[in-house]
Amino acid sequence: MALLTFRRDRDLPEPGALPAFLAGASIEVMPRTAAAIEDFRPLLPPGTRVYIAHIEGTPIDEMVATARRLSDEGFEPMPHIPARIIRDADQLRGWIARYKGEAGVTQALLLGGGPRKPLGSLDATMQMIETGAFNGFARLHVAGHPEGSRDIDPDGGDRAVMAALRLKQDFANRTDADMAIVTQFAFEAAPLIAWADRLAAEGITLPVHIGVAGPGKLQTLLKFAISCGVGPSLKVLQKRAKDVTKLLLPFEPTELVAELAAHKAANPAFGIEALHIFPLGGIKPAAAWLADHSKG
């Protein structure tokens, strides 16, 4: 287990705070990375929510097969549904019918998606919701960007990001939809805490599932962080990269998660309710880290 370094007494988690915060943590896979895992059952707790990233060009057959395999092994598959790679509402309904009928999927992460130019007529999460394709789903998650998104707000602000979240909050308020926000990964606790508090102040009360990068080589995490547009918290990795004593050591999210756990324990109403792990350094190291730090 990695040693923790805390900067302030108030960062110290209460006994059991870290395992409690990790309860219900989710993880993410792609069909090709999932195919390299013979069996997820020795790696993850039963019932773990496993997001399935839908990268542009991945056939829907592979997505559905991965969801079915995860469901058969006792997990809760949550496929990404990216609006901009879907041709139209009919194709969306066809995908959802397959997920439900062939894999028993009842939850999904809805997002705009990576491509800037939509493949067809769909461009945003709310457009997909308004098709009615997800009626009857048990849970819908939407994307959050604690450090902003240049794709959505090219000026570097967060006006469009916040406006989109308000629309989703309004939908949750007027329906019985069970919704949450799952975020892009970041590397520093203080900005995440401030962002979650700001959401609450803005009347956005959807629970937050905060994204963190699982253990991995520093160079690997830097590459993913830059390509994914991670914001100011990238400086945590850049500072570490300048320390030759740490350059070759795997980076773990332990300190970041422990700070969030301590804050949650001290503020039970705090909006971050769960952790979502991006296994950038591999599924097995991420699952091992989760198992190790979930122990009471």
Q: Is 50 part of any domain?
A: yes
Torsion angle, alpha carbons of 118, 120, 125, 130, to 10: 160
Residue 133 has pLDDT above 70, yes or no: yes
Residue 130 has pLDDT above 60, yes or no: yes
Biggest alpha carbon–alpha carbon distance for the chain: 55
Pairing of strands 208-213, 179-186: parallel
How many Å apart are CA 194 and CA 292, to the nearest integer?
28
pLDDT tens per residue, range 153-206: 666 677 888 899 999 999 999 988 899 999 998 889 999 999 999 999 999 999
The pTM of the whole model exceeds 0.75: yes
How many Å apart are CA 259 and CA 146, to the nearest integer?
16
Comparison of pLDDT for 286 and 186, the residue scoring more:
286
**Mean predicted confidence (pLDDT) in 257-278:** 96
pLDDT tens per residue, range 96-105: 999 999 999 9
Residue 131 sits in a domain of what CATH number? Answer: 3.20.20.220
Q: Is 6 part of any domain?
A: no
Comparison of pLDDT for 108 and 240, the residue scoring more:
108
pLDDT for the residue numbered 116: 76
CB burial readout 29-54, b (16+ within 10 A) else e:
bbbeebeebeebeebbbeebbbbbbb
**Mean pLDDT score across all residues of the chain:** 88
Residue 217's CB: how many other CB atoms inside 10 A? 16
| 233 confidence band (pLDDT: 50, 70, 90) | low
Contact (CB, 8 A) for 103 and 68? yes
Q: Is 278 part of any domain?
A: yes
Q: Is 28 part of any domain?
A: yes
pLDDT for the residue numbered 58: 96
Q: Is 1 part of any domain?
A: no
pLDDT tens per residue, range 15-30: 589 999 999 999 999 9
Q: Is 58 part of any domain?
A: yes
pLDDT for the residue numbered 68: 98
DSSP per position, the chain: -PPP--SSGGGSPPTTHHHHHHTT-EEEE-HHHHHT-S-STTTS-TT-EEEE---TT--HHHHHHHHHHHHHTT-EEEEEEEGGG---HHHHHHHHHHHHHHH---EEEEE--S-SS-SSS--SHHHHHHTTTTTT-SEEEEEE-TT--TTT-TTS--HHHHHHHHHHHHHHHHS---EEEEEEEES-HHHHHHHHHHHHHTT----EEEEEE-SB-HHHHHHHHHHTT--TTHHHHHHHHT-TTTTTSPB-SHHHHHHHHHHHHH-TT-SEEEEEEE-TT-HHHHHHHHHHHT--
| 14 confidence band (pLDDT: 50, 70, 90) | low
Contact (CB, 8 A) for 121 and 90? no
**Mean predicted confidence (pLDDT) in 224-234:** 71
Count how many domains the chain has.
Answer: 1
Which tokens in the block code for residue 50? Answer: 């496993």
| 258 confidence band (pLDDT: 50, 70, 90) | very high
Residue 46 has pLDDT above 70, yes or no: yes
Q: Is 201 part of any domain?
A: yes
pLDDT for the residue numbered 13: 54
Which tokens in the block code for residue 57? Answer: 């060009």
**Mean predicted confidence (pLDDT) in 67-94:** 97
pLDDT for the residue numbered 10: 44
Q: Is 39 part of any domain?
A: yes
Parent domain of 278: 12-291
